[in-house]
């Protein structure tokens, strides 16, 4: 009888121990508890979470703006033509006489530099960069060249000729000759020029060196074209006024 009591008592103890162990294994970690297996600052996937303020609604816009600012500083560009060959006239950004809306949503998307010198003009690289395109376009049978530097691109359109070194994938250096502006109507030469940030065309004035900016502003001041100046009073007019970045 004594042995049976001891045996039953032993079984009861074993059952109680197993029951306690089972309860502990099924216990969930509450909000005030910390699982010792997970390091401090770790997320659900084990990646560490950096301390910092939460990003409010619109956080993606804030992050994109920060990323944009970190990618590249504002570039500085020189004249896209030889300083010894000043322009005879300029057609500004945003004019709608030759580029009416809505066919052209923002008006003229660049600056036209024009010469009536009766001789070819030297078009030059205004910054170091990579040539991402250099092709003769069937629309006007002229050459279009685009140079990229970081997030910025500079387009030289309507060129009559380009130098043999100006090929897609090649490099250009500041001051290197690119070619000559397109020849139209006898001795009239024209180059359409643009500055882009990503896919956006922007006003280039605040990107030029002080000397280059002064020369271009003088070229616009010397442009004798009353109708054009009434339509677009500034080098960057209309939708492009103050569109710097």
Q: What are phi and psi of 32, to 5 degrees?
A: -95, 5
**Residues comprising the chain, all counted:** 245
- What tokens does 94 get? 């945003």
pLDDT band at 24 (very low <50, low <70, confident <90, very high): low
Per-residue pLDDT at 13? 52
Distance CA 194, CA 203 (A): 8
More confident call, 164 vs 57 = 164
Per-residue pLDDT at 185? 86
pLDDT band at 193 (very low <50, low <70, confident <90, very high): very high
Please report, for the chain, the start and end positions of each structural domain, with discontinuous segments joined by +.
89-235
Distance CA 156, CA 159 (A): 7
Per-residue pLDDT at 152? 98
Q: What is the mean pLDDT of residues 194-218?
A: 98
Q: What is the mean pLDDT of the chain?
A: 81
Position 59 pLDDT exceeds 50: no
Q: Are 196 and 240 in contact (CB under 8 A)?
A: no
Q: What is the pLDDT of residues 220-233, one digit of tens each?
A: 999 999 999 999 99
Distance CA 6, CA 11 (A): 9
Q: What is the pLDDT of residues 95-112, one digit of tens each?
A: 999 999 999 999 999 999
Distance CA 28, CA 30 (A): 6
CA 63 from chain centre, in angstroms, equals 15
Per-residue pLDDT at 71? 55
Write the secondary structure of 3-38 as one string of H (helix), E (strand) and C (coil).
Answer: HHHHHHHHHHHHHHHHHHHHHHHCCCCCCCCCCCCC
Cα R_g (the chain), whole angstroms: 34
Q: What are phi and psi of 208, to 5 degrees?
A: -75, 155
- DSSP for 39-84? PTTB-TTS-B----PPP-TTHHHHHHHHHHHHH-PPP-B--SB-TT
Superfamily of domain 89-235: Glucose Permease (Domain IIA) (2.70.70.10)
Q: What is the mean pLDDT of residues 47-72?
A: 44
Distance CA 24, CA 238 (A): 73
- DSSP for 127-169? S-EEEEEEEEETTTTEEEEEEEETTEEEEEEEEEEE-TT--TT
């Amino acid at each position: 009888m004594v042995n049976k009591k001891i045996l039953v008592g032993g079984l009861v103890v074993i059952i109680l121990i197993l029951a306690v162990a089972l309860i502990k294994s099924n216990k969930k970690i509450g909000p005030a508890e910390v699982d010792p297996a997970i390091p401090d600052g770790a997320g659900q996937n084990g990646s560490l979470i950096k301390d910092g303020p939460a990003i409010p609604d619109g956080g993606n816009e804030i992050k994109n703006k920060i990323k944009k600012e970190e990618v590249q500083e504002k570039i500085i560009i020189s004249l896209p033509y030889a300083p010894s060959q000043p322009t005879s006239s300029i057609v500004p950004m945003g004019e709608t006489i030759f580029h009416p809306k809505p066919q052209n949503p923002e008006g003229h998307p660049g600056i036209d530099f024009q010469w009536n010198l009766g001789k070819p003009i030297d078009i030059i690289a205004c910054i170091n960069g990579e040539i991402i395109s250099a092709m003769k376009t069937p629309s006007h049978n002229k050459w279009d060249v685009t140079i990229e530097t970081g997030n910025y691109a500079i387009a030289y359109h309507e060129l009559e000729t380009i130098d043999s070194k100006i090929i897609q994938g090649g490099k250009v250096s500041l001051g290197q000759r690119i070619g000559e502006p397109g020849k139209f109507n006898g001795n009239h030469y024209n180059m359409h020029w643009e500055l882009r940030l990503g896919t956006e065309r922007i006003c280039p004035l605040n990107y030029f060196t002080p000397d280059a900016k002064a020369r271009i502003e003088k070229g616009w001041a010397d442009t004798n074209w009353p109708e054009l100046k009434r339509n677009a009073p500034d080098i960057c007019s209309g939708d492009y006024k103050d569109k710097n970045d």
